[in-house]
Structure 1
């Protein structure tokens, strides 16, 4: 049964806009958990533009659901993951000038490097995922790293303006899910998913979780975080019916 994992980065973005103490992403994580989220995602970026180290530590200490830590493949982040011990780490690419993650991690030719990077993380019992595009070569390379999961980047699908382009991107994702499950990977989806475009995945087998942040926080401005999370969690639950 697929589950909902809520990203609270944008709560921290709002806080950091004034370098203050509110709104509190730790409180947002707790509220999302109480409203039906099965896990919480935070992206601790190297430039610390939103989520801070203390946020990760406090969410790990206070929430009862899974903590997923998105991070770059650096020694600093590896050390943080080994210290915090989240349920899962998700390796993502980072560029300083990007507003948000723009595409998947390149795994091709980096299989040994990523396998070595993940080895001490796996040794601590922490699961791993690679955030990649729905490219068959990337999926096969991801498997070679020893990661248990991949998270397929759905941003190109979500951002497509024309119906034909959107359908083309959707087909790539569906083929990617099928290939990944066939070769033994577990599949998560994330980036740009909202209350409408997620419906195209309702009858798709093999999806483990949906990683959603922006659309939930955008709705929360108008109806509150509790209801926004409940609406998405209830929607995801219908996918198992």
Structure 2
């Protein structure tokens, strides 16, 4: 079964819009796990516009499934990860001015940098994943960095699928096949939803984990968090 990691950034976005501590990200994480989520993902950014560094510290002792911290490996982020030692760190090349993640790493141009960062995390026993576009050369580059896994950036699939283009999954499947041959685990995320997850799962070999936040939390507003998580789990079997 492909694991479901619930990204709770949007819970923090809602909280920060009002101030205070409602909704509570720790309660959201605990509930998501109780409802069947097999992981919790957070993506703290330097401006802390949703998940804060303090949220990461609060979540670390209470997450009982896999804890995944995503982000751009700037010095502050590296320090945060090393202090809180999640199950997995996912490296994402976010600029300070982006609203949400909009590209994967160029693993060829950034090979040396990524090697150094990954070596630091792996020395502490933290599984490493690199956010990449569905390009075969980038998968080969990811292998050279020493990463344990890739996370395929799925926005292009989601946009095409919504227009009826089911062939959009093919580059992702090819990348998953190559990653498996290279002994890389395969994660995926960004704009996956109840509308497109079943087809993606059915056509994606060797898919270890999906990280879903914006769509899942949005769907939960209408259908309830427990109900939505259970639907994802059904589609991911």
- Pairwise same-fold verdict (TM > 0.5): yes
Once the two structures are TM-superposed, the CA of residue 202 in structure 1 deviates from its matched residue by 1.8
| CA-CA distance at 1:96 after TM superposition | 3.2
More displaced stretch, 34-43 vs 88-97: 88-97
Shift of 1:48: 0.9
Say which SS state the counterpart of residue 192 (structure 1) adopts: coil
Asked if 2 retains the 8 angstrom alpha-carbon contact of 1:42 and 1:51, the reply is yes
Q: Does the residue aligned with 2:37 lie in a helix, a strand or coil?
A: coil
Spell out the pairing of 1:1-241 with structure 2 (5 A cutoff). 1-160=1-160, 161-164=162-165, 167=167, 169-200=168-199, 201-237=201-237
Q: Which runs of 4+ in 1 moved over 4 A?
A: none
Unaligned runs of 5+ residues in structure 2 are: none
Residues 132-171 of structure 1 deviation map (CA, whole Å, 9 limit, x = unaligned)? 001111111111110000000111111225334x52x311
Is residue 13–residue 49 contact of structure 2 (8 Å, CA) maintained in 1? yes
Inter-partner Cα distance in structure 2 for 1:103 and 1:72: 12
Query: Could you list the runs of 5+ residues in structure 1 that have no partner in the other structure?
Result: none
After the TM superposition, which of the residue ranges 226-235 and 181-190 deviates more from structure 2? Answer: 226-235
In 2, Cα distance between the equivalents of 1:30 and 1:105?
31
Confirm or deny: 8 A CA contact 1:8 1:42 kept in the other structure. yes
Normalising by structure 2, report the TM-score. Answer: 0.94
Shift of the alpha carbon at 1:175? 0.9
TM-score in terms of structure 1 length: 0.93
CA contact (8 A) 1:155 1:192 kept: yes
